[in-house]
């Protein structure tokens, strides 16, 4: 590469970096809110109660800019460059339906945070087709009996998910939820450090992702996940219980077709403890231990990351253009030029 060509190439690279971040195409994450995830006094599993599908303000400056028990999760994904939306109570769970603006085919990750209504057979098939064709499904369960919605059809997430993974009498996901420890149980509040030691790329993307290493998580009234490789050979454990005498898993993952699934058996770790909604009693666990790193690493993995190389969190209010404090460093080798941005 001659000097003129190299100079022109460098200019183009710098020009590309100076483009507004909005001009880039972000990966999209959809939080389900069709299953009364806001119900009860101990839950408000939405990212923004003020506006759906798009949270407002559009450019939040802090997680409290959005009101909801998992607003911090949504805010951190926003900071990381993802586009986040909610599927509102009036939304439709479909796959391949061009008449639905929020069809699952428009999203890389679909998060179902402790739902209280079962999915219909048609919806279950839509979710399965979404995953089989490359989508990322994030399942957040809870203990038996946590049925916070008292309306018609209301039940607990434990029941909803065990029904969801049963599609036409077959379980393609490779796991179910089984009893753990609920409120009042001496083992209801526990921690675990028993993470998988597997070196495969998927496991490492979740445990040692760019959003931080995951080494300790806490659980507060929970179910367990039971996985079965005869149902799906790819299913594997990410985190095992350390409760004496128990054999369950807190976190499992599997591949279904071209897609990926991550399931956690308790909703407490995603609770950020913040809401302005009267009558709610939330308790922060999201920022405790390694909980936050797990949820962000898992989302990055579900969105298509094959290793622990997802970009780190961006500033909460990213500049539209490259600032003076951003340095572009070019490394030249015999094969090619490599570029790295260092942001101070």
Tell me what pLDDT residue 133 has. Answer: 97
Tell me what pLDDT residue 335 has. Answer: 35
Tell me what pLDDT residue 282 has. Answer: 87
Tell me what pLDDT residue 63 has. Answer: 93
Tell me what pLDDT residue 210 has. Answer: 87
Contact partners, residue 31, CB within 8 Å, separation at least 6: 46, 47, 70, 74, 84, 85, 86, 87, 111, 113
The CATH number of 27-315 is which of 3.40.50.880, 3.40.50.980, 3.40.50.150, 3.40.640.10?
A: 3.40.50.880
Q: Which residue has the tokens 């496991």?
A: 203
Q: What is the DSSP letter of 64?
A: G
Q: Is-contact 88 51, C-beta < 8 A?
A: no
- CA–CA gap between residue 343 and residue 320 (Å, rounded): 14
The kind and range of the H/E element at 202 are helix 201-207
Q: What is the DSSP letter of 167?
A: B
Query: Burial letters for 192-202: b for 16+ Cβ neighbours within 10 Å, e otherwise?
Result: beebbeeeeeb
Tell me what pLDDT residue 285 has. Answer: 93
Q: Is-contact 242 250, C-beta < 8 A?
A: no
Tell me what pLDDT residue 150 has. Answer: 86
Tell me what pLDDT residue 96 has. Answer: 97
The segments of the chain whose pLDDT lies below 50 read 1, 3-23, 307-344
**CA 201 centroid distance within chain:** 18
Residue 143's nearest CA partner among 26, 38, 264 is 264
Tell me what pLDDT residue 39 has. Answer: 83
Residue intervals of the chain classified under CATH 3.40.50.880 are: 27-315
- CA–CA gap between residue 266 and residue 242 (Å, rounded): 15
Residue 233's nearest CA partner among 275, 178, 175 is 175
Tell me what pLDDT residue 305 has. Answer: 66
Tell me what pLDDT residue 24 has. Answer: 56
Tell me what pLDDT residue 14 has. Answer: 38
Tell me what pLDDT residue 13 has. Answer: 40
- CA–CA gap between residue 250 and residue 180 (Å, rounded): 10
């Amino acid at each position: 590469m001659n000097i003129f060509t190299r100079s022109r190439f460098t200019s183009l690279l710098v020009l590309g970096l100076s483009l507004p971040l909005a001009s880039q195409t972000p990966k999209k994450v959809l939080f389900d809110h069709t299953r009364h995830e806001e119900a009860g006094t101990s839950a408000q599993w939405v990212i923004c109660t003020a506006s759906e599908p798009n949270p407002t303000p559009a450019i939040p400056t802090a997680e409290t800019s959005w009101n909801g028990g998992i607003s911090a999760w949504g805010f951190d994904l926003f900071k990381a460059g993802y586009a986040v939306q909610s599927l509102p109570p009036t939304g439709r769970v479909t796959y391949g339906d061009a008449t639905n603006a929020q069809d699952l085919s428009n999203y890389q990750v679909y998060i179902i945070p402790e739902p209280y209504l079962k999915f219909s057979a048609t919806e279950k098939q839509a979710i399965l087709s979404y995953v089989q064709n490359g989508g990322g499904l994030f399942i957040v369960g809870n203990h038996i009996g946590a049925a916070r919605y008292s309306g018609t059809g209301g039940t607990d997430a434990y029941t909803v998910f065990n029904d969801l993974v049963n599609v036409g009498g077959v379980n393609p996901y490779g796991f179910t939820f089984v009893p753990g420890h609920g409120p009042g149980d001496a083992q209801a509040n526990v921690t675990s450090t028993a993470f998988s030691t597997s070196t495969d790329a998927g496991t490492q993307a979740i445990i040692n992702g760019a959003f931080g290493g995951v080494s300790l998580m806490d659980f507060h009234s929970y179910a367990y996940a039971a996985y079965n490789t005869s149902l799906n050979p790819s299913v594997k454990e990410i985190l095992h219980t350390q409760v004496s005498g128990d054999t369950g898993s807190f976190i499992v993952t599997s591949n279904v077709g071209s897609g990926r699934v991550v399931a956690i058996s308790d909703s407490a770790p995603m609770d950020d403890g913040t809401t302005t909604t009267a009558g709610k009693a939330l308790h922060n666990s999201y920022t405790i231990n390694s909980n936050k790193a797990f949820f962000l690493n898992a989302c990055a993995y579900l969105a298509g990351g094959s290793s622990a190389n997802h970009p780190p969190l961006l500033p909460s209010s990213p500049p539209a253009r490259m600032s003076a404090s951003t340095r572009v460093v070019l490394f030249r080798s015999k094969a090619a030029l490599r570029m790295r941005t260092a942001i101070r």
